[in-house]
Amino acid sequence: MKIITSSRLLPVFVFASLIAFADHHQEPEGNRTASSRDELTEKDALLFLQESELSLKKLSKKVNRAKWIHANFITYDTSSLVAETSAKKTAAVVRLAHEAARFNNIELSDDTRRKLEKLKLALTLPSPMDDEKNNELSGVTTQLSSLYGKGKYCRDEKSCLSLSEISATMATSRNYEELMELWTGWHEIAKPMRPLYMQEVNLTNQGAKELGYTDTGSMWRSKYDMPADDFARELEQLWRQVQPLYQSLHCHVRAKLGEIYGDERVPQDGPIPAHLLGNMWAQIWSNIYDIVAPEQADPGYDLTGLLTQHNYNELEMVKRAEKFFTSMGFAPLPDSFYERSLFTKPRDRDVQCHASAWSLDSKDDLRIKMCIRVTGKAFSIIHHELGHNFYQRAYKKQPVFYQQSANDGFHEAVGDTIALSVTPGYLQDIGLLDELPDASKDIGLLMQMALDKIAFLPFGLLVDQWRWQVFSAEITPENYNKAWWELRKKYQGVEAPVARTEEHFDPGAKYHIPGNTPYTRYFLSHILQFEFHRALCDIAGNKEAIHRCSIYNSKEAGGHLNRMLEMGSSRPWQEALATITGKHEMDASAILEYFAPLQEYLDEQNKGRQCGW
C-alpha cells in the first residue's frame, strides 16, 4: 500500500458522513422517555438506538450519493452541496454523541453499551455542546484545512509550486540544495497554523471531557477495545519487534546516501537529513530505490509489460482482480458494480482520480473510483480496492453501528493482504508469467517493498504519539516543534535539514495534522496485513517462503477470511483477529519472517558500518 493523504476507503457507513441531514429528523424516541439521567433504562437506550438506526439508514444513500456525484463531477455546485452537508454534519454528530453519553452511567447489556460507544466514538474532533464554541471549532478546522489545501511554495510572485509538483521533483532530484529549498519552502505553509491548532486542541478537549473522556487523545485510543493506556503500550511493544529491521534498513540507506552526498552532509553515525529520502515527510523511501538497489535488483519480469503483452485493458484488470476473490469462494460482484464504477478518467470533466472503494447503500451498491492505467502498480491497487468492497459487502447484515472494520486498521490491512498475494506465482497461475524467477531475484522486490512498508512504520507511529501528548498537555504549545523533531529523531532517525524553532509548526506540513485524521490506523494496517497474510498462507497449505505465497484459489483461506469480514465491528477486534490467526494479540513477527531474506542481505551489507544514531 502507498501511504496517502487520506484513506482510499469510503466506508459503508461512517457516522460523520451519514448523519449530515440528521438535524432535519425528530429526536429519537429514546430521548423522550425519561426526564433525567437517573430515570434512564436499558429500554430507553434500545429505543434511542432503534430510532437512530432507522434515521441513519435513510440518510446513508443521500449522503453517499452526494459525495459520489461530487467525486465524479467536480463543479462549483457539487462542491457547494458537499460543503453544506459538511457544515450540518458536525452539529448533528455532536448532538447524537451527547445523547448517547446520557447513558454513560446506566447499567446496560454489553451489546447496547457497545453500540452507544460506537456512536460516541464516531466523532474525530468532539465539539462542546455550547453552540458558540461549536461554531468556533468548526471555523478553526475549516481555516486549518484551507491553509493546507491552498499551500504552495513560491520562489517569487510568478513562480509557485503545489505540493504535487514539489513531490514530483523530490522523488527524482538528487541535488542537495534543490531538495533543501523545496523541503524548507513547503514547511513554511504551516507557520500560520500554530495559534489555530492551539485553539482547536482546547475546544476539542472540552468536547471530549463532556463525553466522559480525559482528553481527545484518550478518546481516540478508546476506540480499540482496551484501556487507552494499554493500547499505547501495545503499540510500543509492536514497534520494538520491528525496530531492529528498521534500523538495519536505515543503516544501509544512510550509507548509500553518504556515497552520493558525502559523509559531511550525511554523517554515518547520526540521523538522516529528512529531505534526502525522496518524500516530503521521509515516510516512504521507495523513490530513492535507484540509490540503494541491490545488484540483483532485476525481479526477472516487468508486470506492466506482461499486461500489455497479453492485451489487458482497464476493465479486464478489474475482472481479473474479481476472479481472485471468487477463486477463494466469494460470490461475484453484482452487475451494478461494473455499470456504476468509474474505471477510466473521463475526457470531458474533472474527477477525483484518487483510487477509492465505495458502498453507497450499506448493501450491494459497491463501486470503485479509479483512473486506471494499464500498469503493474495499478493492477495491485485494484486487488487492494476490491478487498475493501468485499469487506463492505461481508458486514452488510450487521446493525448500522457495526458496519465498519474490526478496528480502523483492519480495512486497509485486508486490502493490502490481498495485494501481497500478487506474487510471481500468482502471475504464473493466471497466465501472465511463463516461468518463475529464481529466488535470488527476490531481494530486489523485498528491498523495494521495505522502502515503502518498513520505512513507514516509525512515522506511522509517531504522528499520533505527538498528538496524544499535545491533547494531554504533556507537550505544551511552547514545545510543539521541539517535541515533533525529538519524536522524529527517536523513532525515525531523521532530522530537519535546517535549524527549526518554535516559530515553525512543522507537524502542520503533514496533511493529517491540520486535516485531523487519526494516523495510528496506518501503523496498525502495516502490522496486521503481514499477520493476516502469514495466517492465511498457513490455512491455504503454503509450503513456500511467505513472501512468495499467494492465497489465490484457496477456498479454506477464503472461508476464514470471510468469517472475519462478516463480523464487522460487532465484536472486539481481538476476537476478529483470532478468527484468522488463532491469537488475540497482534504480533509483528510475521513482518520479520516476510523480510527475512532482506534482513540477511542487510546484515551482510552493514558489516563494518556503525548503525544507529
**Distance (Å, whole) CA 451 – CA 2:** 11
Q: What is the DSSP string of 291-355?
A: HH--TT---S--HHHHHHHTT--HHHHHHHHHHHHHTTTPPPPPHHHHHH-B-S--SSS----S-
Q: Which three cell numbers stand for residue 562?
A: 470471510
Question: What pLDDT, on a 0 to 100 scale, did the predictor assign at position 450?
Answer: 97
**Distance (Å, whole) CA 294 – CA 253:** 11
By DSSP bridging, strand 494-495 and strand 356-359 are unpaired
By DSSP bridging, strand 153-156 and strand 159-161 are antiparallel
Question: What pLDDT, on a 0 to 100 scale, did the predictor assign at position 71?
Answer: 83
Q: Where are the beta strands (DSSP E) in 454-557?
A: 494-495
Q: Are 575 and 554 part of one and the same domain? A: yes
Q: Are 100 and 174 part of one and the same domain? A: no
**Distance (Å, whole) CA 455 – CA 250:** 8
Partners of 356 in the beta sheet?
369
Residue 218 included in any domain: no
Confidence check: pLDDT of 84 > 50? yes
Domains: count for the chain: 3
* Residue where a domain terminates, one of 470, 491, 518: 518
Question: What pLDDT, on a 0 to 100 scale, did the predictor assign at position 82?
Answer: 65
**Residues carrying an active site annotation:** 354-355, 384-385, 388, 412, 512, 522
Q: Are 356 and 376 part of one and the same domain? A: yes
- This model's pTM is above 0.95: no
Q: Are 264 and 320 part of one and the same domain? A: no
Using one digit for the tens of pLDDT, what is the confidence trace for 566-583? 999 999 999 999 999 999
Using one digit for the tens of pLDDT, what is the confidence trace for 546-569? 999 999 999 999 999 999 999 999
Using one digit for the tens of pLDDT, what is the confidence trace for 278-326? 999 999 999 999 999 998 778 888 999 999 999 999 999 999 999 999 9
Residue 211 included in any domain: no
Q: Are 461 and 531 part of one and the same domain? A: no
Q: Are 337 and 368 part of one and the same domain? A: yes
Using one digit for the tens of pLDDT, what is the confidence trace for 479-505? 999 999 999 999 999 999 999 999 999
Confidence check: pLDDT of 601 > 60? yes
Amino acid at 36: S
Residue 133 included in any domain: no
Residue 613 included in any domain: no
Question: What pLDDT, on a 0 to 100 scale, did the predictor assign at position 6?
Answer: 36
Q: Is the dihedral of CA 197, 202, 205, 206 positive or negative?
A: negative
Q: Which three cell numbers stand for residue 30?
A: 429514546
**Distance (Å, whole) CA 340 – CA 372:** 15
More confident residue, 605 or 61: 605
Structural domain that includes position 463: 145-198+229-298+447-518
Residue 50 included in any domain: yes
Q: Are 290 and 329 part of one and the same domain? A: no
**Distance (Å, whole) CA 588 – CA 282:** 22
Question: What pLDDT, on a 0 to 100 scale, did the predictor assign at position 265?
Answer: 97
Please give the average per-residue pLDDT across 580-589, as a whole number: 96
**Distance (Å, whole) CA 70 – CA 312:** 30
* Residue where a domain terminates, one of 120, 155, 180: 120
Count Cα neighbours of 446 within 13 Å in the Cβ-side half-sphere.
25
Q: Which three cell numbers stand for residue 148?
A: 493546507
Confidence check: pLDDT of 33 > 60? no
